[in-house]
Amino acid sequence: MNGSDSEHVVATEHLTKIYQNRQIALNDVSLTIEQGCVLGLLGPNGAGKTTFLRLVLGLHRPTAGRVKVFGRPMNPNAATLRRRIGYIPTNPQFPGGMTPINYLDYMGRLFGLPINVRKPRLAALIRAVDLLSHAGTDIAQFSAGMTARLAVAASLINQPDLLIWDEPTHGLDIEARRSMLELIKTLAHEKTLIICSHNLSDVDEVCNHAAVLSQGQLIFQGSLQDLKGRIRKNHYELDLEGDQKSISKCVQQIKSFNDVKQVILRQRRMEIMLNEETLNTAVLSKVFSVLNENKVALVSVRSVGQQTEQAYLDLVEKEESRGFTRLYSPAEAA
């Protein structure tokens, strides 16, 4: 994610935020987001994700460093920049006594949209988020899924170039979550998005880049593929088909391999743990040979743990175990 500031939708330099001179929420974060990027912003609770979003939105002033959005400095007075951003907070709240039509019309007026622009736009958005049959219903009666869809419509009323959505699938049932993910995929064709989420499978499905924060510091930024490339490739599950006696014989042979740490058999599912520095392809090819020799068919093979989730957990675990060494050996910590 290189290039000049003018080419970036968001560019932060040494961004730092300290609250009340005692809580370091964000520490020296330099991050760039290019046009068309769908960035998954990841990190444990308290890692600094919400603070980062608030600084990008200009809702807070940085203690040090700077934020540029669309090549221009972002601050609490940069209203013209914020008009180009659509934001959804975690658990969006709406006033009771209003309908989706009332609310979106109100939001359109706040953005200064004339009536001949905002009326057709709000009608199109209500249809797009599948709230047409509830267009005249009091928002207070909405389910979590309906509220989430209204939040999407509200974030799009100003036709923004950048969308910042904080936990957009939080609290949604399976059907509503699927609808939200499909909507994100559609918007990704024409918008730049920052998706903050604890659901790693959501990030895996809709994002193409990731940034990981831990204790206020940026410990990874790059493509989702790069993040997955950091996964420990040493733990596999194999679903097998064949005679139980033949499968048990395979297990005994595989256990004798030098690079195999552990083999567990549950019915016809074999779990294999390799030594960490082992070249996995070499060992797995030997495993497949043993299965073939014993006439045991392979139904499926997979890394244990969802890939993005496992890579993220490995990364955070490694960073936290490093502790203060980062301060004194920056080259090693890079």
Query: What's the pLDDT at 332?
Result: 40
State which amino acid sits at residue 50: T
Mean pLDDT of the chain: 87
Task: Give yes or no: residues 214 and 196 share one domain.
Answer: yes
Strands in 8-19's sheet, in edge-to-edge order, are 23-34, 8-19, 64-69, 72-73
Task: Give yes or no: residues 154 and 294 share one domain.
Answer: no
At 64-114, the pLDDT tens digits run 999 999 999 998 888 889 999 999 998 888 888 999 999 999 999 998 999
Task: Give yes or no: residues 181 and 241 share one domain.
Answer: no
Task: Give yes or no: residues 176 and 270 share one domain.
Answer: no
CB 27 within 8 A of CB 41: no
Number of domains in the chain: 2
Last residue of a domain, one of 185, 207, 228: 228
Last residue of a domain, one of 228, 244, 279: 228
User: Residue 264 is part of a domain; what is its CATH number?
Assistant: 3.30.70.100
In angstroms, the CA 258 to CA 77 distance is 64
Residue 231: pLDDT band by 50, 70, 90 thresholds? low
Task: Give yes or no: residues 154 and 293 share one domain.
Answer: no
Determine, yes or no, domain membership for 77. yes
Last residue of a domain, one of 212, 228, 244: 228
User: Which residue range forms the structural domain that includes residue 250?
Assistant: 235-303
Dihedral of the alpha carbons of 139, 143, 146, 150, in degrees to the nearest 10: 40
At 100-135, the pLDDT tens digits run 999 999 999 998 999 999 999 999 999 988 899 999
Paired sense of beta strands 64-69 and 72-73, if any:
antiparallel
Determine, yes or no, domain membership for 115. no
Task: Give yes or no: residues 147 and 292 share one domain.
Answer: no
Nearest to 30 by CA among 12, 44, 52, 46: 12
pTM of the model as a whole: 0.74
Task: Give yes or no: residues 178 and 245 share one domain.
Answer: no
